[in-house]
Homo-oligomer: A and B are copies of this chain.
Amino acid sequence: MSGGLGARLRQLGIELPPPFQPVATYVGAVVVGGQIWVSGMGPTWDKEIRHRGKLGRDLTLEEGQQAARLTALNLLAHAVAAAGGADRVGPCLKLFGLVNSAPGFTDQHLVLDGASDLLGALFPGSPHARAAVAAPALPFSIAVELDGVFRLLP
């Protein structure tokens, strides 16, 4: 990828949210041998939750995709913080996505495309593995939760 993540974010006019650390015995991301493992994140901006509720009841598919996109930005923000800079964050390797779902909603994969398409734009030619699942509830009623693994660049 020419230019690195920092340049790509600027080219696409994308701003990352501030990666606020949980006040807890766990952290937003851990660096492990050439990889960055990011904790489960939600559709927040700083400390504000932007998308709450269930797909198939409270939110449209498009709103769910926006929630997935914003959640991916939080993954990136924590990856950047843990890696020590945007240009040390390489492509996403794996995305695990949970969609807060009302009974009968089975389009979890379309919701998560909001995250995958963003990562595809930021890391062209380096697609990730993914799993998409329904959750009956999520902490704070967030609409989407993602965790992810990114490559750490030297």
Interface residues of A (CB under 8 A from B): 24-30, 32-35, 37-40, 93-96, 98, 101, 103-109, 113, 116-117, 119-121, 127-141, 145, 147, 151
A132 near B139 with CB under 8 A, answer yes
Write out the residue numbers on chain B whose beta carbons fall within 8 Å of the beta carbon of A96: 131, 147
Q: Smallest Cβ distance from A48 to chain B, in angstroms?
A: 17
Write out the residue numbers on chain B whose beta carbons fall within 8 Å of the beta carbon of A29: 129
A25 near B127 with CB under 8 A, answer yes
A128 near B26 with CB under 8 A, answer yes
B113 near A137 with CB under 8 A, answer no
Per the bound structure, the CA–CA distance linking A13 and B136 in Å amounts to 37
Known: A32-B93, A127-B27, A139-B109. A98 touches B133 (CB 8 A): yes
| Additional A-B contacts beyond A105-B137, A106-B137, A106-B138 (12; CB < 8 A) | A25-B113, A25-B116, A25-B121, A26-B127, A27-B129, A32-B35, A40-B132, A103-B137, A106-B140, A132-B139, A134-B136, A135-B136
Write out the residue numbers on chain B whose beta carbons fall within 8 Å of the beta carbon of A131: 39-40, 96, 145, 147
B33 near A34 with CB under 8 A, answer yes
Instruction: Name A38's closest neighbour in chain B (CB-CB).
Output: B129
Per the bound structure, the CA–CA distance linking A120 and B136 in Å amounts to 29
Instruction: Name A134's closest neighbour in chain B (CB-CB).
Output: B137
